[in-house]
A and B are shown apart, each in its own frame.
Chain A
């Protein structure tokens, strides 16, 4: 039988791994998606190879982090009921709610900025939609990771 200290170092390890993987997922998603914005075409020209490089720098870590998160999730499901409860306790739930709220507010602000911005700069509807999706994914994921780190 494992002692409570062993059990909790395992919980801390799983929790830290989840936090790190979410941070990598958020940043890599940013690297993967931002170079695909049409508005950045003059800066990141596909002929220079920079776009492809940035895409690879984002897409590969994104896939790796998703695989790791699935692995962590399966480890969590295989853990005891007490461990599962500790990994999704009320602090984690509170952080999830805060992160979701940050994401919601960020998407809302992005939509407002884009509504005003498109009167002055030429941005395609596809870019606006992509930006809103990027913000909607990245902000909650990264803010949850930061909140988990702050409360470590």
Chain B
């Protein structure tokens, strides 16, 4: 299982800043709400494609969204 030690993300903060709920963001990137939840909690590391979609939906870059510890 992937944990926070391997990847830090700012998805939750950026999503809230964009005024989106998990369900709304999930709808935009065509995944389930659970997937957004697991990414936010550091349980699941998304693929490059999903990372790019998330960054695009939030109007940011992948580097801003995810950072190595």
Q: Tell me the A residues contacting B by CB distance below 8 Å.
A: 4-5, 7-9, 11-12, 15, 82, 85-87, 89-92, 94, 148, 150-152
Neighbour of B32 across the interface among A4, A5, A86, CB < 8 A:
A86
How many angstroms from the CA of A11 to the CA of B36 in the assembled complex? 14
Pairs A–B under 8 Å by Cβ, sample size 15: A8-B23, A8-B26, A12-B33, A15-B34, A82-B27, A82-B30, A89-B35, A90-B46, A90-B47, A91-B32, A94-B44, A150-B43, A151-B43, A152-B34, A152-B37
Using CB atoms, name the residue of chain A closest to B39. A91
* Number of B residues, CB within 8 Å of A: 18
Q: Tell me the B residues contacting A by CB distance below 8 Å.
A: 21, 23-24, 26-27, 30-35, 37-38, 43-44, 46-47, 50
Whether B44 lies near A91 (C-beta < 8 A) is: yes
The residues of B that contact A94 with a CB separation of less than 8 Å are: 44
A5-B23, A8-B23, A86-B26 given; A151·B50 CB < 8 A: no
The residues of B that contact A90 with a CB separation of less than 8 Å are: 31, 35, 46-47, 50
The residues of A that contact B50 with a CB separation of less than 8 Å are: 90
How many angstroms from the CA of A12 to the CA of B38 in the assembled complex? 14
Using CB atoms, name the residue of chain B closest to A5. B23
Using CB atoms, name the residue of chain A closest to B25. A4
The residues of B that contact A5 with a CB separation of less than 8 Å are: 21, 23-24
